[in-house]
Structure 1
Amino acid sequence: MDASASSSAAAPDPSPVHGPGLPTAPAPVSRLRRLATPVGVMAAVVGAFGYVATVDPNEPGHYPVCPMLRFTGVFCPGCGGLRSAHAFAHGDLAAALGANALAVVGYVVLAVVWLLWTVRAGRGQTLRIGLAPGYWWGIGAVLLVFSVVRNLPFGSALAP
Structure 2
Amino acid sequence: MLKAFQVLSEHWRKLCLAVLPLGCAVVAFLVYTKSVLLPPCLFNQWTGLLCPGCGMTRASHSLLHGEIAAGFAYNPLGVVLLPALLYGVGQELIAWAWEKPEWRLRLGARLPLIMAILVVGFGILRNLPGFDFLRP
Give the TM-score normalised by structure 1: 0.64
Match of 1:68 among 43, 46, 49: 43
Letter in 2 for 1:148: I
Could you tell me which runs of 5 or more consecutive residues in structure 2 were left unpaired when the two chains were aligned. 1-9
Q: How far is the alpha carbon of 1:87 from its aligned partner? A: 0.7
Q: Per the alignment, do residues 158 and 125 of structure 1 end up closer, same or farther by CA in structure 2, a change over 3 Å counting?
A: same
Partner of 1:26: none
1:109 Cα deviation after fit:
0.9
CA positional deviation for 1:135: 2.8
User: What is the DSSP-based 3-state SS (H/G/I as helix, E as strand, rest coil) of the residue aligned with 1:69?
Assistant: helix
| Counterpart among 96, 100, 112 of residue 71 in structure 2 | 96
Q: Is the 8 A contact 1:57 1:63 kept in 2?
A: no
Distance 1:64 1:123, change over 3 A: closer
| Number of matched pairs | 125
**1:47 equivalenced with 2:25 (yes/no):** no
**What is the Cα deviation at residue 120 of structure 1?**
5.0
Q: Structure 1 unaligned segments of length 5 or more: list them.
A: 1-32
Higher-Rg structure is 1
Deviation at residue 129 of structure 1 after TM alignment: 4.2
With normalisation by structure 2, the TM-score equals 0.73
Paired residues of 2:43 and 2:51 also in contact (CA < 8 A):
yes
- Whether the aligned pair in 2 keeps the contact of 1:69 and 1:75 (CA below 8 Å) is yes
1:88-119 deviation per Cα after TM superposition (whole angstroms, max 9, x unaligned)? 12111111111112222232112332454477
Match of 1:137 in 2: 113
Q: Separation in 2 of the partners of 1:128 and 1:70?
A: 37
Residue of structure 2 equivalent to 1:155: 131
Distance 1:114 1:58 in 2: 28
Aligned match for 2:62, one of 63, 87, 100: 87
Q: Percent identity?
A: 26
- Give 1:93's aligned amino acid: I
Q: CA RMSD in A?
A: 2.8
